[in-house]
């Protein structure tokens, strides 16, 4: 389209140019039919690039043609200009400059910058023109095959967005107005070249990626894994270390254990020859019940076959003497008293009522006391430390010990001695971090999971359950260098852009600013 300048005015507001279009024919924008029939003439005002720091206004006489196609729905049409879009009040060059300034700063600052360039626009105009670019995410973008996905708050606690960023170019590829949705799945399906996706520990993104890209690998972000470890474990360790232990009850032998010990003491009564006979009888009976033959018993015990036959035919009441028979009658009652917690020999002798000799009762108590003496000592030590003053450890102190394995806190060392079970938990936390960062090659993730499942700590069990639910992505994080670090930086940039728009950051405008900043026609780069 050629134009001819007919006049020029120099007014206080700027330079005004008058012109007319040249050419005899024009084509209908709907049917493409050429027409020479002029219907009427109209004037169109266009802002142009400034000249000598002065605004320039072009007043152009535009012709309206009649469409010669009777079937066309458009009866009249205006001739098109190759340097200005339809219904626009500025040339394409001015539009590009407005768009460039708006995308790289707020609308108010863009207006101030454009006014110094001789271009008069309002903030609403800048916002409206930039918003046209953000109607949809560009689908023809090229990715490196390695992307990161994460959500960010549009309004904290109410509305969230989702962003996708390329790992290598570090440029945003797409911005969605929802955290999870079909549009994210559809966009991922349009890019089958993606081979690896890094994300946080969200299970929703796991399902979305598996649905859209079933062959793509997933990497769980190491920062979020360590953060979840700290939030899950440190609070639990801190509470467990700071609270006093619950009292333990003194352990006493069970009734069956006490009865067996009492019977052994009764069988050892009497002269040496009698004790030997009782011992041989019990050994032969035990071996016989186990299924051994007479010859096997003979080789095992060194007794003759004749002696073994005699012991097998004999009865228990014929082997024991009268004192042993009398004592066995009260063995069950004594076992019940011992299992209930009565371990004083004098008290037990009185309760037996002469059914057993005091000497025998003392012997039974002494034999069982040897076994449970150490156990009761530990219980007393534990209960003595219950009154220790509650000490609240700082989270950073515990976390530093987990990361380094060293501590200068005297209080932490004392609490570790009181709670030795927490030492294992902290060692497991440290081992997980070493595995995740690739510093411990001697232990695999599966081995760590098996060890952690054996620990009786609900916080550790909860964290292990979370790791098992996302095991493949966690293993990929242990063996690759990909992470969501640069994604978090991009999220901060997007939030900064949103805040700079003074509550006018709709998803369309925000998408335009994020995806198309520094990509305007003014830079001779394509606008997607």
Dist. CA 520–CA 524, nearest whole Å: 7
Dist. CA 206–CA 181, nearest whole Å: 13
Dist. CA 365–CA 468, nearest whole Å: 51
| Helix extents (H) in 119-254 | 123-131, 182-189, 203-212, 222-229, 235-242
The mean pLDDT values, 10 residues at a time, for the chain of 528 residues are 86 88 86 88 90 87 89 87 86 88 83 87 84 80 89 82 89 88 90 91 85 91 89 80 59 71 76 80 82 84 82 78 75 73 69 70 72 69 57 77 80 75 85 85 84 86 89 88 87 84 73 71 36
Dist. CA 94–CA 73, nearest whole Å: 33
pLDDT at position 412: 79
pTM of the entire structure? 0.60
pLDDT at position 149: 93
pLDDT at position 197: 92
Which is nearest to 200 in space by CA: 146, 150, 152? 150
What's the token pair of residue 95? 């539009």
Pair type for strands 14-21 and 54-66:
parallel
Which is nearest to 363 in space by CA: 449, 293, 268? 268
Q: HEC string of 91-104?
A: CHHHHHHHHHHHHC
480 with 219: CB under 8 angstroms? yes
Dist. CA 342–CA 365, nearest whole Å: 10
3-state secondary structure at position 486: helix
Complete DSSP assignment for 496-511: HHHHHTTT---HHHHH
- Please give the C-alpha separations between residue 29 and each of 25, 62, 69, 271, 373, in angstroms, as whole numbers: 13, 15, 12, 127, 103
Domain ranges across the chain: 3-89, 91-221+483-528, 223-244+392-476, 255-383
CATH number of 91-221+483-528, picked from 3.30.420.10, 2.60.40.10, 3.10.350.10, 3.90.105.10 = 3.30.420.10
């Amino acid at each position: 389209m050629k134009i001819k300048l007919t006049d020029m005015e120099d007014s206080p507001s700027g330079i005004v140019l008058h012109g007319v279009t040249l050419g005899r024919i024009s084509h209908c924008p709907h049917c493409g039919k050429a027409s020479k029939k002029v219907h009427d003439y109209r004037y169109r005002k266009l802002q142009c690039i400034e000249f000598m720091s002065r605004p320039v206004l072009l007043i152009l006489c535009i012709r309206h043609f009649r469409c010669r196609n009777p079937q066309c729905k458009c009866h009249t049409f205006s001739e098109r200009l190759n340097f200005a879009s339809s219904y626009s009040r500025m040339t394409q060059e001015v539009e590009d400059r407005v768009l460039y300034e708006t995308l790289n700063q707020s609308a108010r600052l863009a207006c101030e910058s454009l006014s110094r360039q001789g271009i008069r626009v309002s903030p609403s105009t800048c916002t409206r023109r930039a918003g046209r670019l953000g109607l949809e995410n560009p689908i023809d973008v090229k990715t490196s095959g390695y992307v990161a996905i994460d959500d960010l708050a549009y309004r904290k606690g109410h509305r969230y967005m989702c962003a996708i960023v390329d790992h290598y170019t570090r440029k945003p590829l797409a911005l969605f107005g929802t955290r999870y949705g079909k549009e994210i799945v559809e966009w991922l399906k349009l890019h089958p070249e993606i081979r690896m996706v890094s994300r946080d520990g969200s299970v929703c993104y796991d399902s979305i990626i598996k649905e859209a890209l079933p062959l793509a690998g997933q990497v769980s972000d190491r920062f979020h894994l360590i953060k979840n470890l700290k939030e899950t474990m440190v609070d639990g360790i801190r509470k467990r270390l700071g609270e006093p232990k619950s009292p333990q009850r003194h352990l006493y032998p069970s009734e069956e254990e006490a009865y067996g010990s009492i019977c052994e003491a009764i069988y050892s009564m009497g002269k040496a020859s009698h004790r030997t006979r009782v011992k041989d009888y019990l050994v032969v009976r035990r071996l016989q019940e186990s299924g051994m033959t007479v010859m096997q018993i003979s080789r095992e015990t060194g007794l003759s076959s004749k002696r073994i036959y005699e012991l097998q035919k004999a009865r228990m009441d014929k082997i024991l003497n009268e004192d042993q028979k009398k004592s066995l009658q009260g063995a069950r009652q004594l076992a019940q008293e011992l299992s209930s917690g009565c371990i004083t020999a004098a008290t037990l002798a009185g309760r037996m009522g002469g059914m057993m000799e005091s000497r025998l009762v003392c012997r039974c108590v002494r034999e069982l006391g040897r076994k449970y003496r150490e156990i009761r000592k530990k219980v007393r030590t534990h209960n003595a430390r219950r009154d220790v003053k509650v000490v609240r450890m700082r989270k950073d102190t515990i976390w530093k010990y987990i990361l380094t394995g060293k501590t200068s806190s005297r209080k932490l060392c004392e609490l570790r001695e009181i709670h030795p079970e927490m030492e294992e938990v902290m060692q497991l936390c440290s081992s997980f971090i070493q595995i995740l960062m690739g510093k411990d090659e001697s232990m695999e993730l599966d081995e760590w999971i098996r060890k952690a499942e054996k620990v009786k700590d609900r916080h550790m069990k909860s964290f292990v359950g979370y790791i098992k639910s996302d095991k493949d992505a966690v293993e990929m994080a242990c063996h690759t260098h990909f992470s969501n670090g640069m994604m978090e930086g991009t999220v901060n940039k997007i939030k900064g852009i949103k805040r700079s728009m003074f509550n006018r950051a709709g998803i369309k405008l925000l998408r335009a600013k994020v995806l198309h900043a520094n990509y305007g026609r003014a830079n001779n780069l394509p606008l997607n």
